[in-house]
Structure 1
Amino acid sequence: TEQIKVDDSIKLTYRSVMGVEVPNIIYHQPDSVEVPYGLEGTSSRIDEAYIQFQKVKQITLILAEVDNSIYRLANAISKTQKRANALKNVVIPRYQSSIKEMTESLEEKEREEFSRMKVIKAQKEN
């Protein structure tokens, strides 16, 4: 069996964009193109096809990086949108309701205190 040469020209790292880990594909294109076949008995069209496939490989890597980055960012945006909706529709109204109850309670206590002071003042005057 023939062994297939390992392609180590591709490195995958991750970088953070607004707190989301997105892939960063680094492709080291070789300086010279080494064809994996003999030149004798082959057409120059095969050479051209091989070179074009190398370009397709590079473009596919870029596409994969962009596609995966968009997917991850869209997923993060979706999660953030759900949290924002939860704040808008659940948490904030709950706090507003609590604030309203506290305000009404304080106003009621203030009115009671005012009327109590009025009664005390009236008793002092008599």
Structure 2
Amino acid sequence: MSSTNRYPALPSRMSLIAFKTRLKGAQKGHSLLKKKADALALRYRTVMGELHKAKLEMADQIKGSYFTITQAQFIAGDISLAVQESLKIPTYRMELQVENIAGVQVPSFHTQNSDADDGQGEAAAESRLPGDHSAAAGLSLTAGLGKGGEQIKEAYSAFRHTLSLLVKIASLQTSWITLDIAQKVTNRRVNALEKVVIPRVQNTLSYITSELDEQEREEFFRLKMVQKKKKAMAKIQQAARDAETASIEAERTRKRNLLIAQRDGGVAEADMVV
């Protein structure tokens, strides 16, 4: 097995346990990242569909808004200076919110009507009494119905909706880009775990297991050889002891025979003297 396809590790029981734990963690991380990638992909497709729909709506809305402002200018004349003079405070404020999608912080933008204090939204803002800060309300009261007041109010409402739609598109576009980047990063991590980390850990485990098995076979062979040598030495020692015992017995027999011979010789001499 090539060393480039595995991690450097000493073949030991501790290394085997460590890499088994590492493999389990990598597989669990791969599963979690896979679920995260699926969640991001689902949200990504949803945002992309909403963005496409909002852009199509925006094209028609822009045409209608500029048509209403053209009507108002045709009837009431140039109202740009009057609009600038009637503005006291910002009609809209931008609000930033952060949504957590599978651990990814996705920003979203919302418009907040600063002159709708009663919380009734656009309908309440358009039906303001004299003295409110709405540019359209002031201009429509000044111009009157005969001088394009109704057209100015329609243009104001159309551009209010256009502004809200622009903010929605900007929010969806930002979310789409954020999700696209997060999805690519997550997919790279999933692929790295699936194609590199997990196979290398598995190869390392196979290497450690094979080395430990080889060490076990070598140890078994060594023990068999030691046992064989011990048996051979035991046989040699037993043969030496048997030879020594036989030698001792032979010496004893020789001495006993010698004593018997000496005793028999003494008896024969005594008989001859008699």
Higher relative contact order (CA 8 A, sep 6+): 2
Offset of 1:110 from its aligned partner? 0.6
Instruction: Indicate the RMSD between aligned Cα atoms, in angstroms.
Output: 2.4
CA distance in 2, matches of 1:77, 1:9: 31
Paired residue for 1:81, among 176, 179, 187? 187
Deviations 1:17-59 (A, max 9, x none): 2222222323223332231634242252332122111112122
Cα distance in 2, alignment partners of residues 81 and 102 from structure 1: 30
Amino acid across the alignment from 2:200: R
The answer to whether structure 1 residue 66 and structure 2 residue 150 are counterparts is no
2:108–2:174 CA contact under 8 A, matched in 1: no
1: CA distance between counterparts of 2:173 and 2:110? 15
Offset at residue 113 of structure 1 (A): 0.5
Secondary structure in structure 2 of the residue aligned to 1:10: strand
Q: Which residue of 2 aligns with 1:123?
A: 229
- The letter of the residue matching 1:21 is Q
Give the 3-state SS of the residue equivalent to 1:32 in structure 2. Answer: helix
Count of paired positions: 126
Structure 2 regions of 5+ residues with no counterpart? 1-80, 117-123, 127-133, 233-274
Structure 1 unaligned spans of 5+: none
Residue 99 of structure 1: how far off its partner (Å): 1.6
Structure with greater helix percent:
2
1:15-54 correspondence to structure 2 within 5 Å: 15-29=99-113, 30=116, 31-33=124-126, 34=134, 35=136, 37=139, 38-40=142-144, 41-54=147-160
Deviation at 1:7, TM superposition (A): 4.3
- Aligned to 2:143, the other structure's residue is in SS state coil
**Which residue does 2:199 correspond to in 1?**
93
Please give the alpha-carbon distance, in whole angstroms, between the structure 2 residues aligned to 1:7 and 1:92.
57
Q: Share of identical aligned residues, percent?
A: 29
Identify if the C-alpha distance between structure 1 residues 23 and 58 changes in structure 2 by more than 3 Å, giving closer, same or farther: same
Q: Which amino acid aligns with 2:100?
A: S
1 or 2, which has the higher strand percentage? 1
After the TM superposition, list the runs of 4 or more consecutive aligned residues in structure 1 that deviate by more than 6 angstroms. Answer: none
Aligned equivalents of 1:76 and 1:114: distance in 2?
Answer: 54
